[in-house]
Amino acid sequence: MAYTAVTKALKTLNPTVLRVLTSQSRHLSGVAIAGQPEPDSPSSSFTFSSNENVPTSISNKDNNIYIKNPKKTESSVTMPISFMTGSIVGGRFYKKVTTREADDGNGWNVMLDYRTLKTPSKRPLKCPTLALAKAIAAEWEFQQIDGIRPFTMPLMKLTCTALERVPLTRHKIIEYLMKKFHQDLVFCRAPGDSDLTSNVLGRQVEKLDPLLNWVESEFGFKPIVYSSFFGGKQEGGLVDAIENLLKKTDDCELAAIDAIAASAHSLVIALGIFRGRLDIEEAIKLIRLEEDLQVDRWGLVEGGHDVDIADLRVQVSSATVFLGLSRKH
């Protein structure tokens, strides 16, 4: 199963490392993060049910999911900011996780016992495919009796992003991605007139030029490379071609592209995964090309480089798996 890729990445990580890396997320966009509060909101949280008379503990009297509410005055049940930072939230309040077809026949729901999992806007979480619903169900099934660990549910987070945030902020997401496109990681070259950077330039030419050749073949315009810290300016035809592609994506595809681009500092690498030009391992090697050269030369810093690598693997692999599972074949 594709979900195994994310599970394997998570299981190989020390819990302490997981808590650190989830608090050091690389997201550049910040526009399409599920559960992100509005400017006047007091906290960042996920809401999974809605009821005007929600109690502060788990209820068995209806079909909503209730997790103990830290604020008695609130009428909704929320996953607090610990969802993003790696803390354990409450205790597991369900025994069985299943999936079922949505009532309208358009999509699939995840069921915790007899309760329907809900989105931040308090509607049933409706996955576009059964495969994605089963993967999210596997994330909930993975949770332990002593507590729910939201940082082990990246597919749940991405699904909420695609269903709730992307439809409302699609224009802003694309606008931000295109704004950063000119400073894309794959367009930047290290100076070749220095002993400290000449080996970096050689590796960039070897590894990144094939990807740039693919861009030219795919979109009909040759990318411009530069060595300035302030970036360069890509040809208008290429910019328009990339922007038109983004506008044609569905909400799940755009959520995945945005997540990968934020982690990779590269829209080109995200599109390479989207179009099947790159797999997860190839993308990670390109993203870490310069840093890996520094590690080879100066050594790996424990608690620094290893955490960064773990974070990158989780972010890229989960978004790539989500992209594949959400597609209707």
**Single-letter amino acid, residue 183:** Q
Residue 94 has pLDDT above 60, yes or no: yes
Residue 185: which residues within 8 A CB-CB, separation 6 or more?
Answer: 264, 265, 266, 268, 269, 286, 287
Does some domain include residue 321? yes
Is the same domain home to 73 and 219?
Answer: no
pLDDT digits (tens, 9 = 90+) for 267-301: 999 999 999 999 999 999 999 988 777 776 777 76
Can you give the pLDDT at residue 329?
Answer: 73
pLDDT band at 41 (very low <50, low <70, confident <90, very high): very low
Which residues does residue 148 pair with via DSSP β-bridges, in sequence order? 89
pLDDT digits (tens, 9 = 90+) for 104-138: 999 999 999 999 999 878 888 999 999 999 999 99
Structure tokens at 235: 């040809």
Is the same domain home to 182 and 301?
Answer: yes
Residue 99 has pLDDT above 80, yes or no: yes
Q: Which residue's entry shows tokens 């328009």?
A: 240
- Looking at the structure of the chain, the number of domains it has is 2
Does some domain include residue 79? yes
Tell which of 138, 161, 184 closes a domain. 161
72: domain range? Answer: 39-161
Is the same domain home to 174 and 125?
Answer: no
pLDDT band at 221 (very low <50, low <70, confident <90, very high): very high
CA–CA distances in Å: residue 168 to residues 133, 316, 322: 23, 24, 20
Is the same domain home to 207 and 241?
Answer: yes
- How many whole angstroms separate alpha carbon 154 and alpha carbon 162? 12
Mean pLDDT of the region 6-22: 48
Q: How many helices (H) and strands (E) does the chain have?
A: 13, 5
Does some domain include residue 18? no
Is the same domain home to 229 and 154?
Answer: no
pLDDT digits (tens, 9 = 90+) for 242-265: 999 999 999 999 999 999 999 999
Mean pLDDT of the region 187-203: 78
Residue 64 has pLDDT above 80, yes or no: no
Is the same domain home to 212 and 318?
Answer: yes
Does some domain include residue 250? yes
Is the same domain home to 73 and 211?
Answer: no
Does some domain include residue 68? yes
Does some domain include residue 109? yes
pTM of the entire predicted model: 0.75
Is the same domain home to 298 and 312?
Answer: yes
- Going by the DSSP 8-state scheme, the letter that residue 164 receives in this structure is I
Helices (H), the chain: 3-11, 15-22, 82-85, 130-141, 154-160, 166-181, 198-219, 236-247, 251-264, 267-274, 280-287, 289-298, 305-326
Structure tokens at 63: 């079909």
Which residues does residue 111 pair with via DSSP β-bridges, in sequence order? 98, 116
The CATH code of the domain that includes 176 is 1.10.3580.10
The CATH code of the domain that includes 148 is 3.30.2180.10
Can you give the pLDDT at residue 46?
Answer: 36
pLDDT band at 238 (very low <50, low <70, confident <90, very high): very high
Is the same domain home to 172 and 311?
Answer: yes
Q: What is the mean pLDDT of the chain?
A: 78
Does some domain include residue 13? no
Can you give the pLDDT at residue 88?
Answer: 79
Tell which of 161, 176, 197 closes a domain. 161
Is the same domain home to 155 and 172?
Answer: no
Residue 4 has pLDDT above 50, yes or no: yes
Torsion-angle region of 130 (φ positive above 0: left; ψ -120 to 50: alpha; else: beta): alpha
pLDDT band at 325 (very low <50, low <70, confident <90, very high): very high
Does some domain include residue 1? no
Phi, psi of 188 (to 5 degrees): -90, 135
Is the same domain home to 149 and 198?
Answer: no
Can you give the pLDDT at residue 228?
Answer: 72
Can you give the pLDDT at residue 244?
Answer: 98
Higher confidence at residue 151 or residue 24? Answer: 151
